[in-house]
Structure formats: C-alpha cells, structure tokens
Structure 1
Amino acid sequence: MPQYKLMDRFGNELSHGDLQKKLQWCKDGEQLEHEFLHLFGSRFGLRLNEQKHKDPTVPDFIHTASDRYVDLKTQNTPFFNARRYGVEPQFAVTLNKIDVDRYTRLYPGLIILYHVNWLAVKLLKPDGSFIEVSPMEGIWAASIRHIPALCRRNNLHSYLQRKADQSGNAKDSYVLDLRNPVFRAFSVTDTLARIAGDT
C-alpha cells in the first residue's frame, strides 16, 4: 500500500495502478506516440520512425525537413520531490540515464520533445503535509547534445524500488528543469523546424 496519495486538480485521488509494469507502459507509450502524431504531426513536420515496428527502443519520430530523429517524452505526474535535486516540482521532468547514454552515442542529432500535462497536482504524505503544483500543459524541445551538460551526480535520482527489477525499467533518472535555456517552450506560432534550427 502506497505511503502517499496523488490527487488531481479536482481533489480526486489518482490510482498508482501498474506504474512499474514495463510492458503496459510500452503499450501506453505507443498509444501516446500515435495520439501526439495525430494532434501535432502536421504542424511540427513529424512522421513515425519506420524502424519503430521492428525495434520499439528507437526514437519515435523523424522530423521530415531536417531528417533528424525526435523522441517523445510524455509526463503526466510531476516529480514532487524534485527540490531534493534543486529543481522546483512545477518545472521538473526526468530523463532516464540509460536514455541519455544511448541517445548521445547513437543519435547525436536527436531532438527530445517533452509533452507535459500535470494530471496529478498534489502529493499527500502520511503526516498530512503535502507538495502541490499548478496544472500545466505544454511542449518543450531540446537537442540531446545540450543534455549531458545538465546531467550530474547531484541531480541523478535512483529508484530504490527498481534496484532488483529485471523487467527493463530504468533504475536511474536525471531530474531536469524546463526553465533551463536549453529547453525551448513552444508557442502557438512555433514550428519544430524553427526549434530544430536553433538546436
């Protein structure tokens, strides 16, 4: 039984569900990728990476104009304990260490897209204290070449419950701040071509 509760903006408790079930996450992730492509593919000039059918670990999309790989990170739950790593939970996103290592080695021109939509906005602790963020939705982009400079030992979070995990779940993630200048927030008039050109 979890020691804390997650609440949505209406005060409803959110189920923890099967957060650690890697196969379900992969299935959900695939759904999220197709939904994102449906909503933003034309505007951002994206197409599905054809290799995705053979290897689910390759980047999700290709930016047609620049032929650069693009990987989508959808985050709906804030990292409420981000202050431990010097980041405000409102603007904290995570990136798996294994992804940073792999992307920089195999896809040096990759663009990372964060689609953030905080469905959980409050973490209630057993002692009655809480951490709260404001509802927020948006899209941020960064080039992978800028990411390693943000990755240090003091912002590397280890998932204790995954240390013995053999299912493929990442065991460590970097806690990153969307307010850092390497991240470009999309406005209603931005296109990925503009962002890609700057990164």
Structure 2
Amino acid sequence: MSIVWYFDFVSPFCWLQWPSVRRLAEEREVILRPILFGALLNAMEQRGPAEIPRKREFSYRYALWRARQAGTPLKFPPAHPFNPLPALRLCVAAGATPEAVGTLYEWIWAHGRPADSVEALAPLGTALGIDDMATALSSSEVKATLQRNFELALAEKVFGVPMLAIDGVILPLIYGHLSKRHWPARTALG
C-alpha cells in the first residue's frame, strides 16, 4: 500500500495535521512529499485562503481554535503568508524525513519563527546535517525534486494541502480525522 502526504510549511493546517501523520508514519511507510501550495493554486487558477480577506480571518481563527482544542502550540510566524520555498528546499535537502519535517514545523509554527529565507533558517542547517545552506537550497537536484513533487501532485489531482493519497486515491485531511474511527482511510489502512 502506498501512502503519500502532501504538505507545505506555509499552511498552519499542515502543522496541525503533522502529529497524526507522524504517528501514522511510525506504523506504516508514509512518503512525505513537500509541495509549493502557491504553485498548485496557480496551476488551478485559484487564490489561496490568505488572499481572500474574510477567508483569511476565518482560517486564522479556526487554526488557532483547532490548536487550542488539540493542545498543540501554534504561533504564527512574523509574516503570513510567507514564501515557504526556502523551508521546502531545506526539507528536501535534508531528505524529507520525519525528523526534518518535524524540525521545520516546530521552528515555524510552534515557535513562530520566520522561514522565508536562507538566513532565517540558518540555525536549522547544522541540526539537519546541512553544512552549506545556500548551496544546498539552490542545488539543481533539490529544485528538480520539488518540481517532480509538484508534477506528481498534479497527476494525483491534489488540489490543496494537507492531503493524503492512499494507493493514488486523494483524501483531503481535516485536522484530527486520522485518529477518528469514522474516517474513511481507517478502512483502507486496516
């Protein structure tokens, strides 16, 4: 069974979903596939939630409420939305492992730190085994991997983040549903 989680660090909902995905990854192999949400929206000729004033306000309030309900720390970074490309590239350069994903999410969403530049993420480089951040984040291999992830997302008909694909079937994730008995993926996962 193939399980793929599509995410972007710009989304607080991906951060809120991360603990459930991390637990799932402890039980089964889960491919963590970072994608640039903004590029996905552009491909579908849509605007993001933060670009629509009423939706932005609601989304922020809802994310904060969900975090309180779950007891998950949530502190917005200094600017939002922000350019997540440096964080996505760092994640790919570090192997898109659960440790890399978790480290980046903690930095951005638990502590509210910036993630929109190589300089902002520099303290994470050593922790993630990256000696030369500028070179790693600008490498053609890292860029090609993110492009490939984007193309795979389009091929699987991903339309937002977070999303889980089980054997190519896309399941949009609403926070907490991985742990609910009524969630349709529980049947697929056994």
Question: What TM-score results when the alignment is normalised by the length of structure 1?
Answer: 0.24
Bigger radius of gyration: 1
Higher strand share: 1
Which one has more relative contact order, counting CA pairs under 8 Å at least 6 apart?
2
Give the structure-2-normalised TM-score: 0.25
More helix as a share of residues: 2
